[in-house]
A = this chain, B = another copy of it.
Amino acid sequence: MNDDKIMMKHGAGGRAMRALIEELFVEGAPDGLPEGSVGLAAMDDGAAIPIGGGRFLVVTTDSHVISPIFFPGGDIGRLAVSGTINDLAMMGATSALALTCAVILEDGFPRAALERIRESMRVTCKEAAAPIVTGDTKVMGRGEIDGIVITTTGVAITERVVRDAGLHPGDRIVVTGTLGDHGLAVMSARHNLGIEGDLRSDVAPIMSLVAHVLSHHGDAVTALKDPTRGGLASALSEMAQKAGVGVTLDQNALPISEQVRGAAELLGIDPLVVANEGKAVMGVRAEDADAVVATLREHPLGRNAAVVGTVTTERPGKLVLDTGFGRRLVAEPEGEPLPRIC
């Protein structure tokens, strides 16, 4: 272990990254936020700050470094807008007030590619009913930056904040659709598996889906998180650790497409540890779980929603996979298996 240098795993969304951020940024940093805030120490999908009148300002930020910038099912522009919209939604926001967009370009970057990305951002913003209100442009020299990096920040106002730490024993775990699509699509494209036609990233803004569920079953949803870097395994491990509960997943209930299964087998990668960019994981009160799934399935982005697990008091902080033949522990991934996945 070389602890005096930053390594790829520190940016990969898993355990190594959380440890770095906790050590460097969170420890000993009193944030001075008002009572009732969700700040850096919570390490949630974003922050929430009370602004009076029972309202919270929600804010979230992400840098997008994906390679390749155009991939099956999307591109870096769609990813940047969706990623930020989804993080707002994961805090309980049901509409976005504004997005900001800071772009860093490599000297010589093709203008046509930038126009295509801009157009993709515009379309995705329209889908999400979210305006980009301000931005920044920097250019770095060749060899100083690879292509394009887009950092988006989102701001929303909400009356209810949903945390990622709210799981209770007995809750059901619901996912809003198939798992592993983004990660496997990008990996297949990078490895030229030749199956990209069938395998597409799920990248999409899912705030309208989350809003649809919260409007019908707001009280039933106990926790929300999007399974991006590190996939469902990473998101659920973090949720379980924060709530001090265990989670048992039913392997046979996990919605995974045939294409993802095929690519995962070829690449030797578990679909549970790779990024999704258009999905949410929810904790849902047991008695409402079926109704929540039915409501999710009414929405085009929730057609494959499913109950996939149960929150327990066993093995707090751990994720257990029930295969139908036995149970095994799912290790929290150190990080995403592939760098630059989002």
A residues lining the B interface (CB < 8 Å): 3-12, 17, 20-21, 24-25, 29, 31-33, 37, 39-40, 44, 46-47, 49, 51-53, 57, 59-63, 65, 67, 97-98, 100-112, 114-115, 118, 122, 129, 131-141, 143-146, 149, 151, 153, 155, 157, 339-340
- Closest chain-B Cβ to A284's Cβ sits at a distance in Å of 25
**Complex: A339 Cα to B144 Cα, angstroms:** 12
Q: Which 9 residue pairs are nearest across A and B when measured between Cβ atoms?
A: A11-B139, A47-B133, A61-B100, A153-B153, A151-B151, A144-B146, A47-B134, A63-B102, A6-B109
A339 partner residues in chain B, CB cutoff 8 A: 139-141
18 pairs, A vs B, C-beta closer than 8 Å: A5-B111, A6-B114, A21-B135, A25-B118, A29-B122, A44-B134, A49-B97, A51-B51, A53-B53, A59-B98, A61-B100, A65-B104, A65-B140, A65-B145, A102-B151, A140-B339, A141-B340, A143-B146
Quick check: B63 and A104 within 8 Å, CB to CB?
yes
**Complex: A57 Cα to B133 Cα, angstroms:** 11
Query: Which of A115, A140, A141 has its CB near the most chain B CB atoms (within 10 A)?
Result: A140
**Complex: A129 Cα to B29 Cα, angstroms:** 13
A46 partner residues in chain B, CB cutoff 8 A: 134
Quick check: B133 and A39 within 8 Å, CB to CB?
yes
Given that A31-B131, A40-B133, A132-B25 are known contacts, is A100 also in contact with B59, CB under 8 Å in the complex? yes
Quick check: A107 and B40 within 8 Å, CB to CB?
no
Quick check: A139 and B6 within 8 Å, CB to CB?
yes
Main secondary structure of the interface of A (DSSP, over half): mixed
**Complex: A108 Cα to B3 Cα, angstroms:** 10
Quick check: A49 and B146 within 8 Å, CB to CB?
no
A118: nearest chain-B partner, CB-CB = B24
A146 partner residues in chain B, CB cutoff 8 A: 140, 143-145
**Complex: A189 Cα to B31 Cα, angstroms:** 34
A341: nearest chain-B partner, CB-CB = B138
Report which of B12, B105, B131 forms a contact with A6, defined as CB distance below 8 A.
B105
Quick check: A11 and B138 within 8 Å, CB to CB?
yes
A33 partner residues in chain B, CB cutoff 8 A: 98, 131, 133
Quick check: A141 and B8 within 8 Å, CB to CB?
yes
- Closest chain-B Cβ to A231's Cβ sits at a distance in Å of 17
**Complex: A101 Cα to B32 Cα, angstroms:** 16
**Complex: A188 Cα to B301 Cα, angstroms:** 55
A29: nearest chain-B partner, CB-CB = B122
- Closest chain-B Cβ to A138's Cβ sits at a distance in Å of 4
**Complex: A29 Cα to B122 Cα, angstroms:** 8
A7-B107, A10-B137 given; name 18 further pairs at CB < 8 Å.
A8-B141, A11-B137, A25-B135, A39-B131, A39-B133, A40-B133, A46-B134, A51-B51, A57-B57, A61-B135, A61-B136, A65-B138, A65-B144, A100-B153, A102-B151, A139-B339, A145-B145, A155-B155
A131: nearest chain-B partner, CB-CB = B31
Quick check: B108 and A5 within 8 Å, CB to CB?
yes
Report which of B10, B29, B101, B132 forms a contact with A105, defined as CB distance below 8 A.
B10
